[in-house]
Chains A and B, each alone.
Chain A
Amino acid sequence: MTEKLPNPELLEYLASVVASSKTQPNSTLNFDNLLEMVESITLNQTIYDTEPFTKTIEDQLSVEMDVQEIYDDVLETGSNNFPSLKREAHQMYANMFLQRQLPSGFSALDASHPWILYWLLNARVLMGEPVSKELGSKIDKTILACIDENTGAIGGGEYQLGHLASTYAGLLALALSGSTDAISKLDRKKIYRWLLSLKQEDGSFVMHHNGEVDTRAVYCALCIASLLNILDDQLTRGTSEWIGSCQTYEGGFGGIPGDEAHGGYTFCAIAALCILDSPLNLRNHVDLDNLVNWTVKRQYALEGGLSGRTNKLVDGCYSHWVGGLTPILEIAIDHKRVIDRMKLQNYILCCCQDDQFGLRDKPGKNPDFYHTNYVICGLSMCQNYQTYDLKSADVSKLGTAYGFTPVKIEDKDVVDNLPANSLAPLDPIFGLPSGVAKSLCEFFVNLDNELSSSR
Chain B
Amino acid sequence: MNTSQYNYDDIIPSPIPATPDTLTQILYSDQYKLVLSYIRPLLLANELSLRALHLTTKTIELVPAHYTIWYYRYNIVAHLQSSKDGLPGNGLIDELDWCESMGISTLKSYQIWNYRKLIIQLIQTDKDYDFNKEFEIVARVLDEDEKNYHVWSYRKWLVETFNLYNSESELKYTADLLNKDVRNNSAWNHRFVVSLGESLSQDVFQRELDYVKKMIGVAPTNPSSWNYLKGLYKKLGKSLVDLKPFVVKYTESDNLSVYAYEILADIHVEEKNLVKSAEIYDLLGGKLDSIRVNYWKYKKSQITLGV
Restricting to B229-259, which residues have a CB under 8 Å from any CB of A?
Answer: 230-232, 234-235
Residues of chain A lying within 8 A (CB to CB) of residue B189: 248, 250, 254, 259-261
Which one of A67-75, A208-216, A230-238, A417-425 contacts B? A208-216
Contact of A159 among B43, B74, B223, B298 (CB under 8 A): B43
Indicate if B49 sits at the interface (CB-CB under 8 A): no
Indicate if A1 sits at the interface (CB-CB under 8 A): no
A106-B62 Cα distance, complex, nearest whole Å: 11
Cβ B21 vs Cβ A106 within 8 A: no
Which one of A2-10, A111-119, A393-401, A402-410 contacts B? A111-119
Q: Across the A-B interface, how many residue pairs have beta carbons closer than 8 Å?
A: 191
Cβ A110 vs Cβ B26 within 8 A: yes
Cβ A335 vs Cβ B301 within 8 A: yes
Indicate if A90 sits at the interface (CB-CB under 8 A): no
Cβ A161 vs Cβ B153 within 8 A: no
Indicate if A338 sits at the interface (CB-CB under 8 A): yes
Cβ A260 vs Cβ B66 within 8 A: no
Cβ A340 vs Cβ B294 within 8 A: yes
Fill in one digit per residue for B165-186: 1 if any A CB lies within 8 Å of its CB, else 0: 0000000000000001111111
Indicate if B32 sits at the interface (CB-CB under 8 A): yes
User: Chain A's interface: helix, strand, loop or mixed, by majority?
Assistant: loop
A334-B229 Cα distance, complex, nearest whole Å: 29
The 10 closest A-B pairs by CB, nearest first: A249-B231, A56-B183, A54-B181, A260-B189, A337-B294, A142-B22, A212-B114, A310-B185, A51-B219, A161-B68
Contact of A309 among B23, B147, B294 (CB under 8 A): B147
- Given A57-B183, A296-B292, verify A111-B65 contact (CB < 8 Å): yes
How many whole Å from B24's CB to the nearest CB in chain A? 5
Q: Which chain B residue shows the least CB distance to A300?
A: B291
Considering only CB atoms and an 8 Å cut-off, how many residues of chain A contact the other chain?
76
User: Chain B's interface: helix, strand, loop or mixed, by majority?
Assistant: helix
Contact of A259 among B22, B74, B156 (CB under 8 A): B156
Cβ A52 vs Cβ B182 within 8 A: yes
Interface CB pairs A-B, < 8 A, 25:
A37-B291, A56-B183, A103-B27, A104-B26, A107-B32, A110-B26, A110-B32, A110-B66, A138-B22, A141-B22, A145-B19, A161-B71, A163-B67, A209-B71, A249-B228, A249-B232, A254-B189, A297-B223, A299-B291, A309-B147, A309-B185, A311-B185, A311-B224, A337-B294, A343-B291
A138-B18 Cα distance, complex, nearest whole Å: 13
A304-B289 Cα distance, complex, nearest whole Å: 12
Cβ A255 vs Cβ B43 within 8 A: no
Indicate if B193 sits at the interface (CB-CB under 8 A): yes
Restricting to A96-124, which residues have a CB under 8 Å from any CB of B?
Answer: 97-98, 101-104, 106-113, 116-117
Indicate if B192 sits at the interface (CB-CB under 8 A): yes
A154-B184 Cα distance, complex, nearest whole Å: 38
Greatest chain B CB density within 10 A among A98, A141, A158, A210 is at A210
A124-B296 Cα distance, complex, nearest whole Å: 37
Residues of chain B lying within 8 A (CB to CB) of residue A297: 223, 292
Q: Which chain A residue shows the least CB distance to B39?
A: A159
A101-B27 Cα distance, complex, nearest whole Å: 6
How many whole Å from B16's CB to the nearest CB in chain A? 7
Fill in one digit per residue for B183-214: 1 if any A CB lies within 8 Å of its CB, else 0: 11110011011000100000000000000000
Contact of B118 among A47, A210, A293 (CB under 8 A): A210
Q: Which chain A residue shows the least CB distance to B290?
A: A40
Indicate if A332 sits at the interface (CB-CB under 8 A): no
Residues of chain B lying within 8 A (CB to CB) of residue A163: 67
Restricting to A111-153, which residues have a CB under 8 Å from any CB of B?
Answer: 111-113, 116-117, 137-139, 141-142, 145
Indicate if B25 sits at the interface (CB-CB under 8 A): yes
Cβ B19 vs Cβ A158 within 8 A: yes
Greatest chain B CB density within 10 A among A256, A293, A333 is at A293
Interface residues of B (CB under 8 A from A): 16, 18-19, 21-29, 32, 40, 43-44, 62-68, 71, 74, 110, 114, 118, 146-147, 149, 152-153, 156, 160, 180-186, 189-190, 192-193, 197, 218-224, 227-228, 230-232, 234-235, 288-295, 298, 301
Cβ B23 vs Cβ A98 within 8 A: yes
Residues of chain B lying within 8 A (CB to CB) of residue A391: none
Cβ A340 vs Cβ B153 within 8 A: no
Restricting to A322-341, which residues have a CB under 8 Å from any CB of B?
Answer: 333, 335-338, 340
Cβ A256 vs Cβ B153 within 8 A: yes
A261-B291 Cα distance, complex, nearest whole Å: 21
How many whole Å from B260's CB to the nearest CB in chain A? 13
A102-B21 Cα distance, complex, nearest whole Å: 14
Indicate if A160 sits at the interface (CB-CB under 8 A): yes
Cβ B183 vs Cβ A311 within 8 A: yes
Indicate if A262 sits at the interface (CB-CB under 8 A): yes
Residues of chain A lying within 8 A (CB to CB) of residue B26: 101-104, 106-107, 109-110
Indicate if A22 sits at the interface (CB-CB under 8 A): no
Residues of chain B lying within 8 A (CB to CB) of residue A54: 180-184
A56-B187 Cα distance, complex, nearest whole Å: 12
Residues of chain B lying within 8 A (CB to CB) of residue A258: 156, 160, 193, 197
How many whole Å from B293's CB to the nearest CB in chain A? 8
New contact pairs (14) apart from A101-B25, A108-B65, CB-CB < 8 Å: A51-B219, A51-B221, A55-B181, A104-B28, A112-B65, A142-B19, A142-B22, A142-B23, A159-B43, A248-B231, A254-B189, A260-B149, A260-B185, A300-B291
How many whole Å from B231's CB to the nearest CB in chain A? 3
Cβ A111 vs Cβ B68 within 8 A: yes
Fill in one digit per residue for A190-220: 1 if any B CB lies within 8 Å of its CB, else 0: 0000000000000000011111100000000
Cβ B25 vs Cβ A102 within 8 A: yes
Cβ A104 vs Cβ B29 within 8 A: yes
Indicate if A431 sits at the interface (CB-CB under 8 A): no
Cβ A111 vs Cβ B67 within 8 A: yes
A110-B19 Cα distance, complex, nearest whole Å: 15
Residues of chain B lying within 8 A (CB to CB) of residue A102: 24-27
